[in-house]
Structure 1
């Protein structure tokens, strides 16, 4: 019990000593002001605020009563650094403001006093503020561009999301030869620029405010792009169109369908079920498909890196199936045979279709065209063993995205 009383006593004395220590400066000031009788002090700065910047900070406050004030002084680094700012009073409420430049990146406690011509000063007003610099700058990065889609003179720039706690506010795009930049806010996932000329370049950078009230905007370095025309696959999404049909089955318009796919009375590849979908299907009364192909050729695709995205609804192809089924991108005007897909020199990218990847899955085939424009062909190829039909793959859409 004695120990408990001792702890309480020590705690009370410690708190008193802390309070006394914190008030030492104010008490010393009071003694000076009171020395000789009457207390003479100037009006204290009110509503003090700090506004962060790049190796600088702005401080702002108000005074509204004392006409004698002629200056205010700001102290920081325990009084080792200071700045004095003259004041011309208006007779009403005046805003005091100062920007302190060339100050290292850090968090500071600033003390401000007002003074009159006789040297009388006010009690201290305190405010804390952050100064940002190279350390903050080095954490910043450009907003990732997902795609530059240039179609019929309209450039659509698609952006990835970013961590908003970084202070990111948007991107700034400057087209070569333009006098004004375009600001794209961070909450915009894409932006369209009309009348864009193929082969024309643009550059962009990302803008950050370390705090909402900061007086300086930080930027990343510019990144340059030269968008090229997006390769357009036609009749490439639900509802797919059929050039001819019989009942449920048909032949896809604008695609080349080889004979082995036409296992439904001379039709196949276009399926009325599931919303007029792309589907090479065998079994359930139809023969197995042997080296069947459906593909589309794109001419003079320019050098760049691309991604072919194939979104499927569902499939039952397995990795253990004989032959197998693939999405393929190849140079030239046709696709290789199933047996050659993994080794053919003309193949730019392929992905084997696999039920274990799940439904509503997007297969991403990244490929690069180097040196010069070339024709490419994209599509699906498949083979099943003669005695083992009953395979399908419902495709919702095909799309080629330009990476750079």
Structure 2
């Protein structure tokens, strides 16, 4: 039932594109009513500047130009044919791949061969012929891709090209300029999918860029307490305040030395409720912006995700606490490792950082934190 509903939506989508193309036909076609067979996807995205059909496209299941069949481990790209003009008789066309077109575009520099590749024949399948009944004008078909092959490391970060053409109509002529559709498949965008952030009022609050202080230490403007985050007594090392500094307009911060005391078992954390999903947490906000000053560490410190807990474990229990996820904070120029974790059911999760600064002149400052997922990940 779901597949039938999806195909109905797809046909509606194709017919909307047909109406768009029909509005762009030349005055001579209006006058004489030429009926020609073409592929709507060859013009749908570019408006006639080229025959490219970017995949993925669309914002939800009713507008995406592909269907994911996870049980079958396939992705189906939606293509079709349409008959312009007043005629509505039955017709059929052959469907084939035009490898020469792709090879020419790679060799002449239209596409950079270091980033773009021709889609291998082992990855796809498609029908050899499509038949359209009398009165129907258009028909749809799939180019089916192997999810297992799409996820091979050799294709990560690449674009795959596939030229699909129609030929040999049993009736009517082809619109030869629109008889080939060039699928331009962004592998990462399809395999990983669009990112969805879980920060803001509903989930992880006060994520930074900049961080906001709930209050500040009296008599100065630098140190304060983070709004919506909890800092334990050890982290509040500046006269009972800590976790926030006004550096760079507002950062999450813990540091010892430079006139500040040791921070023994210092914690900054926040507990939120999340739906089930596959998540990523980054305490550095993508990098330790500003370089060494933002992460100067002698003693190991940890970014931690603790599903099901209301707080973070003590420093000396991090390595032995079951069910938590953690990463060492690493110095630039190394990239801070993400924490990837899964929730099989909705539940509470505590996020944050734990340090044990016994040596002097060390600390971290984070401009922002990230919490996100890829809900359409294959």
Normalised to the residue count of structure 1, the TM-score between the two structures is: 0.45
Higher strand share goes to which structure?
Answer: 1
Higher helix share goes to which structure?
Answer: 2
Greater Cα radius of gyration, structure 1 or 2 = 1
Greater relative contact order (CA < 8 Å, ≥ 6 in sequence)? 2
